Structure 1
Amino acid sequence: MLDQYLDVNPEVAQAIAEGKPVVALESTIISHGMPYPQNVETALKVEQIIRDNGAIPATIAILKGRLKVGMTHEEIEYLGKTGLDVIKTSRRDIPFIVAKQADGATTVASTMILASMAGIKIFATGGIGGVHRGAQQTYDVSADLQELANTDVAVVCAGAKSILDIGLTLEYLETHGVPVVGYQTETLPAFYTRESEFGVDYQLDTPEQIATAMKAKWQMGLKGGMVVANPIPEAFAMDKAEIDQVIVDALTEMDAKGVGGKDSTPFLLAKVAEKTAGNSLKSNIQLVFNNAKLAAQIAKSYVS
């Protein structure tokens, strides 16, 4: 049934069939995360890092209505050039993008869904979505969190995006039984910074320990994903006080302009990049590289 919608790249399909390590990658970071050609260069570099660490990359998107798990360099180039004209696609959007034979860039939630369809268990990204600041009034909660509660994919990230209400995000994950693992850290990283005032559920210090926990969770039939929080490398971390003030200023501007819904995260990230003279984008790229490396190491251990 899935074959009429899903295209799994032959290299990726062979790796899955042979029990080799595969790491899923999202595509919103390509179309909406940074300008061309930097977006394509970054995407291809992330894929190369995964290969260098012994796994097969599977960048995921929807192209002309086809669910793509594992994209060619030409497809990544097309997505990068098309940029913001590609529809940012979460769970609710998938059937309509397919029906319209349109192009869709996958978020954390939709990447997890397509990865799971193909049988991929590990996914590397920048940061997960979560509960937005002021959600008590707006009810603005990312679909990423509900997907983590329901879909059996581990997400390697640099924690929750620091534009979010991290405390409420953790409360939501706890309520839905999603474990938050800190890789070699007992505090949750906050995307641009290595630490926050919040703790993780478990600190695990090796990729092997994380893979073992993943196996135990799913072999026992415990539904849902896992957050693997991997701190940004110290050399690229930003000053916490500085980034916190930048985010407050960006939130104020967002409210004044009436930006909300799926437009809020791209708006805030763009404003943070602008207000930090591009330093936040450099940090963002480096933390994605770091997460890709760890995800590949976990994937290798998971299939061994």
Structure 2
Amino acid sequence: MTPHSQLFLHEEVAAALADGEPVVALESTILSHGLPPGRNLDVARRLEQVVRDGGAVPATIAVLDGRPVLGLSAAELERVCAPDANLGKLSLRDLGPAVGLGRSGATTVASTASLAAAAGIGVFATGGLGGVHLNASQTWDVSADLGVLAKVPTLVVCSGVKSVLDIAATLEVLETNSVPVLGYRTSEFPAFYLRSSGHELPWRVEHAKEAAAVVAAHRAYAGSGVLLANPIPEESEMDKELHDRLLAEGLELLRERGVHGAEVTPVLLEHFHTASGGVSLDANEALVLSNAKLATAVAVELA
């Protein structure tokens, strides 16, 4: 984990942490890779405003010129979202090289959760979690997000995982690593664009206060994180027939191009965005804003 001395905390974030005020971490990969230029900056600003409106301080995280920054300034946010930013995706394995070599990059779920935990930020809102890829028994393709959640006490609020992944195997890995998965007002694990994957969850909470109570209790017994699965808002859910068609096309595209590993999600997202006529972009935006709102409510209860 990156030593605290190597982190740069925006003064607002540092002050909030010192005073015990709620802070919500936000990743930057969704801005640099998940949304198109222009829209990404608008969503970035709206995410931070949602957190502020809920009574917490936003801490958007990225690595800039070899320095992990927690709480981007307005200018730094524009830099991350710029069309020519050309930022790479930095998972936890990439933080050391990026910092040591003075490079810049956008943080994934794994690196964002780790940096947040290193700074003492316990709540993180994102879009979707990485997981176990299909055919992982042959490829060993498992997201670092799962391994990080096994080791850091961060609450991650997300809308499940994308249906291109092996959802059953993903839930098994989380269980093996003692990561509780809570359904927010649902008993089924969500599948990003869809409100349900069909996989049942053992635990369900109805309110932010209940989620906060679970997180606080879990931290007394384990060092792992907690996953709070918040389904995409009902009015923004993608039509299942459209989703299934796009998914089948996307999987075929991956096979044709021989895409695997870290490139799977960007290629699949690009196909969804292009072939859906923008429907998937609207869904992506709606769910991440919803997750930020919920994460803020839980952070306020924890504080």
What does the per-residue CA deviation read over 1:115-174, in whole Å, with 9 as the maximum and x for residues that have no partner? 011100000000100011222222111000111111110100011122211111111111
Whole-angstrom CA distance in 1 between matches of 2:85 and 2:256 = 23
Matched-pair identity in %: 45
| Alignment-derived partner of residue 291 in structure 2 | 291
| Alignment-derived partner of residue 262 in structure 2 | 262
Change (3 A) 1:189 1:3: closer
| Alignment-derived partner of residue 126 in structure 1 | 127
What does the per-residue CA deviation read over 1:156-213, in whole Å, with 9 as the maximum and x for residues that have no partner? 0011122211111111111111111000100111110111210112000010011011
Query: Is 2:162–2:191's contact at 8 Å kept on the other side of the alignment?
Result: yes
Per the TM alignment, residue 83 of structure 1 is displaced from its structure 2 partner at its CA by 5.5
Whole-angstrom CA distance in 2 between matches of 1:134 and 1:215 = 36
Spell out structure 1 runs of 4+ moving beyond 6 A.
none
Change (3 A) 1:83 1:189: farther
| Alignment-derived partner of residue 2 in structure 1 | 3
> Which sections of structure 1, spanning at least 5 residues, go unmatched?
none
Change (3 A) 1:2 1:172: closer
| Alignment-derived partner of residue 90 in structure 1 | 91
Name the SS of the counterpart of 2:300 in structure 1.
helix
| Alignment-derived partner of residue 148 in structure 1 | 149
Whole-angstrom CA distance in 2 between matches of 1:181 and 1:12 = 27
| Alignment-derived partner of residue 161 in structure 2 | 160
Query: Is 1:61–1:105's contact at 8 Å kept on the other side of the alignment?
Result: yes
| Alignment-derived partner of residue 196 in structure 1 | 197
Whole-angstrom CA distance in 2 between matches of 1:4 and 1:17 = 16
Whole-angstrom CA distance in 2 between matches of 1:33 and 1:23 = 20
| Alignment-derived partner of residue 211 in structure 1 | 212
Per the TM alignment, residue 82 of structure 1 is displaced from its structure 2 partner at its CA by 5.2
Whole-angstrom CA distance in 2 between matches of 1:244 and 1:173 = 26
Query: Is 2:43–2:285's contact at 8 Å kept on the other side of the alignment?
Result: yes
Name the SS of the counterpart of 2:124 in structure 1.
strand
Whole-angstrom CA distance in 2 between matches of 1:138 and 1:88 = 21
Whole-angstrom CA distance in 1 between matches of 2:139 and 2:69 = 33
Change (3 A) 1:3 1:205: closer
Per the TM alignment, residue 35 of structure 1 is displaced from its structure 2 partner at its CA by 1.5
Per the TM alignment, residue 3 of structure 1 is displaced from its structure 2 partner at its CA by 5.1
> Which sections of structure 2, spanning at least 5 residues, go unmatched?
none
Whole-angstrom CA distance in 2 between matches of 1:277 and 1:231 = 22
What does the per-residue CA deviation read over 1:57-80, in whole Å, with 9 as the maximum and x for residues that have no partner? 000000000010110111010011
Q: Between Structure 1 and Structure 2, how many residues are aligned?
A: 302
Query: Is 1:35–1:83's contact at 8 Å kept on the other side of the alignment?
Result: no
2:242 is the counterpart of 1:242: yes
Name the SS of the counterpart of 1:24 in structure 2.
strand
Whole-angstrom CA distance in 2 between matches of 1:168 and 1:281 = 27
The aligned amino acid for 2:101 is K
Per the TM alignment, residue 84 of structure 1 is displaced from its structure 2 partner at its CA by 6.3
Segment drifting more, 103-112 vs 163-172:
163-172
The aligned amino acid for 2:204 is Q
Name the SS of the counterpart of 2:157 in structure 1.
strand
Whole-angstrom CA distance in 2 between matches of 1:64 and 1:73 = 17
Name the SS of the counterpart of 1:169 in structure 2.
helix
Query: Is 1:30–1:83's contact at 8 Å kept on the other side of the alignment?
Result: no
Segment drifting more, 102-111 vs 78-87:
78-87
Whole-angstrom CA distance in 1 between matches of 2:167 and 2:174 = 11
Whole-angstrom CA distance in 2 between matches of 1:65 and 1:265 = 25
The normalised TM-score by structure 1 is 0.97
Segment drifting more, 128-137 vs 41-50:
128-137
Per the TM alignment, residue 4 of structure 1 is displaced from its structure 2 partner at its CA by 4.2
Whole-angstrom CA distance in 2 between matches of 1:201 and 1:126 = 22
RMSD over equivalenced CA pairs, Å: 1.3
The aligned amino acid for 2:279 is N
Change (3 A) 1:84 1:245: farther
Segment drifting more, 2-11 vs 30-39:
2-11
Name the SS of the counterpart of 1:32 in structure 2.
helix
Change (3 A) 1:241 1:278: same
Whole-angstrom CA distance in 2 between matches of 1:83 and 1:286 = 25
Whole-angstrom CA distance in 2 between matches of 1:291 and 1:14 = 24
Query: Is 1:32–1:84's contact at 8 Å kept on the other side of the alignment?
Result: no
